[in-house]
Structure 1
Amino acid sequence: MLGGSVLWFRHGLRLHDNPSLHSALEEKGFPFFPIFIFDGETAGIRKLCFEQDCEPVWRARDDSVKNACKEIGVVCKEHVSHTLWEPDTHTVATIGDPPRPVGEVDFTGVKFGSLPESFYNEFTVFDKTPKPEDLGVFLETEDIRMIRWVGGETTALKQMQQRLTVEYETFLSFYWSVQDLFRQVHQGRLTSNSASHFITGQLIWREYFYTMSVNNPNYGQMAGNPICLDIPWKTPSGDELQRSVCAGNWMWVSSSAFEALLDSGECACPVRLGQRLDPSGEYVRRYVPELARMPVEYIYEPWKAPIDVQERASCIIGKDYPDPVVNHLVAAQRNRNAMKWLSRSVAGRLQKDKWFDIVGELRHILQKAPPHCCPSSEDEIRQFMWLNE
């Protein structure tokens, strides 16, 4: 058993395009241990490989592991594969080509290490893969059991290809519809697939935020975070948004780090925004099944539906679905006022007898701020937040 190599899984279990896995299997004939937690000194390993966690919250842990490996003579290899570039050492001015994808691993001849019997006695070993309920994890409510989540790397790769096909065909059909693609091909001007620009932009956007997080230990919170305004947000009120998050997504847009958005004085109306982004209301119908049969003209304002319409939709407001919990017009004005007061508080120039202009006040704040995370232009803000033109 002595002399084995360990692959330390942290964020993911992927076998596809995993340079740490390749590194762990470089030397044939030695036991191989793919693990989450492992006592390397007891097992007598000679090599530890893992994917880099670039966020500062994990730095102390990984530094301790590296030091421990050095003390006991274990080779420690950390690979950059969760991000495209090494965030801690690269800047926009110095980045080169990102690491190339690596091939799939041939496990023929790989000798998987076996655990000593004492491990089975010391730790709980399941006879089969446990369900979340076996570990005390339950759904918040049975109402969100609307999708069947099929996990696994094979499924993920298949779904990614399906999604890329949809994206490609969607963008391609647009160019065909305006005959632009034919004209550019005919004139020899088409050099790249325009559909790829959007995907590339999203990847670089993700990379940018990882880079911004490297030297910011408070990156995951507002308090003490130099790139955020510490805004006392209230509980969000969109049922379909919260249910979709519970069903397997995540909330990835917060204005906390986008203070330039706050100088517009705009408050997005959830009714008008929904009507613009999803006119047919399919998103609401999926995640708020109580409103699934509501006519499209009332899907975003069901409380305005006449009682006979509510009856036909099997959704009586106040009984099957709650009455409005907030008056949007009143709440929007209250939020505008709150942001004005916040801008003065941050600037440290609160004056009770005078209202500062929110645009000028926030710009004054930002001029004094150190370099930090923010959109590069107003156009980028509006595009990112799906605001009206």
Structure 2
Amino acid sequence: KVLHKLKEELGQFKLSFDEDYEPIWHQRDLAVRQWCQNEGIEFIERGSHTLWDPRTVIQTNGGVPPLTYQMFVHTMKVLGPPPRPVSDIDWSCVSFGKLENFGSDNIKLFPGIPAAEELGISQESGLGERVVVWEGGENRALRQLQDRVIVEAEAFKRGLYLPNQAQPDLLAPPTSLSAALSAGCLSVRRFYWEIHDLYKDIHQGLQPASENITGQLIWREYFYTMSVNNPSYGQVTGNPICLGISWGQGGGNEEAVERWRRGQTGYPFIDAAMRQLRQEGWIHHIARNAVACFLTRGDLWVSWEAGLAHFLHQLIDADWSVCAGNWLWVSSSAFEQLLDCSQCVCPVNYGRRLDPHGLYVKRYVPEVQHLPVQYIYEPWKASLEVQEKSNCIIGKDYPERIVNHQQASQKNRQMMIRIRNSLVENRPQHCCPSSVEEVRQFMWLPEKFTDHLCESVHT
């Protein structure tokens, strides 16, 4: 509709747009290209949303997607560093003409900035009073990038990298640039080269940088590459890299999914993350892993497709390729060693390690804020007397546990073993991690993590 209006107002113009590699948008972009060709409109389409063209990565890998992250990194090294961002254009010698009587009002879809309701999005109830306003635009993103560079510089000087992974702060304002990258407010190549040039300057070129210093950008790139020729990447059916795990179905699971969505599982750490997601449109990567594992193979045994749909609806930084890739990985449906991962995130001990005093939980789950700290992550263990004194009666003020984690995780682990054994003779072509270290980095686990963080909870 806008393009038709532009043609009516301007007659001829040139259209330039970013190439979108995700297959779910191919029909939309194809329609734009066909319209331009039919109307005689010149258009320029360039790819800038990724570090490398995913199709070039696949071609370099012999025409097939790299089935492991290690293989992807090898292909990346064969390709060489990504292109640097193009320098700003000097317009000082250019004289621009004026459009006389240009009726810009005629090409508006809305008289002003549309309200959410006009876009078919209604305000959700029960979100609490905390509101986080996300400011968009390139100027804001560039300021955020400079703030991020300062943090990275301090880490490099101390011999560290990915400081928010080594010491995640769940309570701090989000420093992630993922929303800016997703919306195209920040060039991923600029982000990459800012960090790598910074590392080189601090170490004076004496210590070569590894891909790990921008590890999350490389994972982002990997997931884009794996999705580019796979329109079924975001679902189980028809997805060649996804194991067909028989996830639970039925009314009971629908209720469980709804409680998970609304942060009413009875596990305060999981509920805090899910409520933050609904209130703010963002949660830390470690919290995403925890709630994803809880929904799928850890506790509820629900298909990752339900989790992906919710994340795509709620996350302000949702990229289809990256979001689906994370869900495939954490649920052991792909990018994991054929169900060999016997560990799942413990919804009690994992949160307790990250936030021993429960400040994160208290912010988003105020029902438990007056409980003694030893009960913050497992309030069902508090005596009735303690619950009454803390104004938190389990089953009344705060829900009972939706499942017993110890029992559910053990049952789910046995199901994973049975599925794995059934696939041994006819092992499918399946993406999997290259090493234990890769698993640790993806899950943002400490260098020496113990089973109690990723296993079961003692009742």
2:272·2:364 contact (CA, 8 Å) conserved in 1? yes
Query: SS state of the match for residue 48, structure 1?
Result: strand
1:56·1:214 contact (CA, 8 Å) conserved in 2? yes
2:362·2:369 contact (CA, 8 Å) conserved in 1? yes
Q: Residues 65 and 226 of structure 1: is their aligned pair in 2 closer, same or farther, counting only changes over 3 Å?
A: same
Alignment match, 2:132: 148
Q: Residues 72 and 37 of structure 1: is their aligned pair in 2 closer, same or farther, counting only changes over 3 Å?
A: closer
The structure that is helix-richer by fraction is: 2
User: Matched residues in 2 for 1:189 and 1:152: separation?
Assistant: 35
The reply to whether residue 119 of structure 1 matches residue 106 of structure 2 is yes
2:127·2:275 contact (CA, 8 Å) conserved in 1? no
Report 1:140-179 matches (<5 A). 140-153=124-137, 154-170=139-155, 172-173=157-158
Query: SS state of the match for residue 226, structure 1?
Result: coil
The reply to whether residue 376 of structure 1 matches residue 434 of structure 2 is yes
Q: Residues 192 and 294 of structure 1: is their aligned pair in 2 closer, same or farther, counting only changes over 3 Å?
A: farther
Which of 241, 249, 252 in structure 1 is aligned with 2:273?
Answer: 241
Q: Residues 197 and 118 of structure 1: is their aligned pair in 2 closer, same or farther, counting only changes over 3 Å?
A: closer
Q: Residues 115 and 336 of structure 1: is their aligned pair in 2 closer, same or farther, counting only changes over 3 Å?
A: farther
- 1:261 to partner: Cα distance: 6.5
322-331 or 375-384: bigger deviation = 375-384
Q: Residues 208 and 266 of structure 1: is their aligned pair in 2 closer, same or farther, counting only changes over 3 Å?
A: same
Query: SS state of the match for residue 141, structure 1?
Result: coil
Quick check: which has more Rg, 1 or 2? 1
Deviations 1:182-215 (A, max 9, x none): xxxxxx9973597x86441111111111111111
User: Matched residues in 2 for 1:157 and 1:313: separation?
Assistant: 45
- 1:229 to partner: Cα distance: 1.6
User: Matched residues in 1 for 2:109 and 2:27: separation?
Assistant: 28
Q: TM-score of the superposition, structure 1-length normalised?
A: 0.69
The reply to whether residue 217 of structure 1 matches residue 231 of structure 2 is yes
1:51·1:82 contact (CA, 8 Å) conserved in 2? yes
Which amino acid in structure 2 is aligned with residue 159 of structure 1?
A: Q
1:53·1:59 contact (CA, 8 Å) conserved in 2? yes
2:362·2:368 contact (CA, 8 Å) conserved in 1? yes
The reply to whether residue 54 of structure 1 matches residue 27 of structure 2 is no
Deviations 1:141-166 (A, max 9, x none): 24244132132223333333333433
User: Matched residues in 1 for 2:105 and 2:115: separation?
Assistant: 25
Alignment match, 2:178: none
User: Matched residues in 1 for 2:242 and 2:381: separation?
Assistant: 38
102-111 or 379-388: bigger deviation = 102-111
Alignment match, 1:82: 49
Report 1:1-389 matches (<5 A). 37-39=2-4, 41-42=7-8, 43-90=10-57, 91=60, 92=75, 95-103=79-87, 116=103, 119=106, 124-126=109-111, 128-153=112-137, 154-170=139-155, 172-173=157-158, 191-192=206-207, 198-231=212-245, 232=247, 235=257, 236=260, 237=265, 238-246=270-278, 247-249=280-282, 251=288, 252=323, 253-254=326-327, 255=331, 256-260=333-337, 262-344=339-421, 347=423, 361=424, 364-365=425-426, 368-370=427-429, 372-386=430-444, 388=449
Q: Residues 157 and 289 of structure 1: is their aligned pair in 2 closer, same or farther, counting only changes over 3 Å?
A: farther
Q: Which structure 1 residue ranges, 5 or more long, are not aligned? A: 1-35, 176-187, 348-360
Query: SS state of the match for residue 323, structure 1?
Result: coil
Q: Compare relative contact order (CA 8 Å, sep 6+) and give the higher one, 1 or 2.
A: 2
Supply the RMSD in Å over aligned alpha carbons: 3.4
User: Matched residues in 2 for 1:292 and 1:111: separation?
Assistant: 63
Q: Which structure 2 residue ranges, 5 or more long, are not aligned? A: 61-74, 161-202, 289-322, 451-459
Query: SS state of the match for residue 3, structure 2?
Result: coil
Q: Residues 222 and 205 of structure 1: is their aligned pair in 2 closer, same or farther, counting only changes over 3 Å?
A: same
Q: Residues 211 and 312 of structure 1: is their aligned pair in 2 closer, same or farther, counting only changes over 3 Å?
A: same
User: Matched residues in 1 for 2:106 and 2:444: separation?
Assistant: 53
1:213·1:219 contact (CA, 8 Å) conserved in 2? yes
Alignment match, 1:354: none
Q: TM-score of the superposition, structure 2-length normalised?
A: 0.60
Q: Residues 140 and 118 of structure 1: is their aligned pair in 2 closer, same or farther, counting only changes over 3 Å?
A: closer
